[in-house]
Amino acid sequence: MRRAVYRRARCEDEGRLYEIRRRSVLELAPPEMPVAEAQAWARRLTPAGMEQKLRELEVWVAELEGMAVGWGAIRGDRLEGLYVSTEFAGQGVGGGLLDRLEGLMRERGLLSVHLEASSNAGGFYLRRGYRVSGLPTPRGAWPMVKEHPS
Ligand SMILES: CC(C)(COP(=O)(O)OP(=O)(O)OC[C@H]1O[C@@H](n2cnc3c(N)ncnc32)[C@H](O)[C@@H]1OP(=O)(O)O)[C@@H](O)C(=O)NCCC(=O)NCCS
């Protein structure tokens, strides 16, 4: 596992973070997710939408040797997105970023973390202590929760 550095995202990260998300969805979600579904998911975020996320969410970047290789976003006790650069998938970047974001929430006194797992990523979250907390959304994402150990 490579050791990433975590930092808050800046406005100038917009293009890189947009591209990390787009490619990760198109290239990592299949084959667990049908290609057409991944394409529709990738299209849901525009560059303007990415700019809005940077303004409205708390976005954190994982860097390896000064290069952004993944990002995750939180709002309150919700994880609002987690994406890893395809070239660095399977090297612990996503798990490390998730640990970091969970840690921030725990430090803030939040008792649990909520998210909606896309169909391809359910197993990734289940292996990290999340459980399904409701029925799937109309887009097929699974509501999940993880309670912090007290
Ligand atoms: C889900 C995602 C964030 C995981 O990021 P990651 O950096 O690959 O995650 P990690 O390396 O920490 O863990 C990946 C898992 O795949 C395994 N793996 C091993 N080799 C791998 C490879 N070559 N490629 C991908 N995964 C591999 C890892 O061992 C690990 O298994 P585990 O879950 O049992 O621990 C990433 O795949 C991604 O961006 N997917 C597309 C977007 C997405 O689905 N986001 C989540 C939306 S809710």
Q: Where are the domains of the chain?
A: 5-147
Whether 30 lines ligand 1, by a CB cut-off of 6 Å, is: no
The alpha carbon of 91 and the centre of ligand 1 are apart by a number of angstroms equal to 8
Instruction: Give the chain's radius of gyration (CA, Å).
Output: 15
The mean pLDDT of 75-88, rounded to a whole number, is 98
Reported as a single tens digit per residue, the pLDDT across 38-70 is: 999 999 999 999 999 999 999 999 999 999 999
Whether 119 lines ligand 1, by a CB cut-off of 6 Å, is: no
The alpha carbon of 89 and the centre of ligand 1 are apart by a number of angstroms equal to 6
Distances (CA, A) of 11 to 38, 50, 52, 65, 102: 26, 10, 10, 20, 23
CA nearest ligand 1 atom 18, residue: 90
Catalogue the E-assigned strands of 56-108: 58-64, 67-75, 78-84
| CATH code of the domain occupying 5-147 | 3.40.630.30
The answer on pLDDT for 1 being more than 70 is no
The alpha carbon of 121 and the centre of ligand 1 are apart by a number of angstroms equal to 8
CA nearest ligand 1 atom 14, residue: 90
Position 148 confidence tier, pLDDT thresholds 50, 70, 90: confident
The answer on pLDDT for 145 being more than 70 is yes
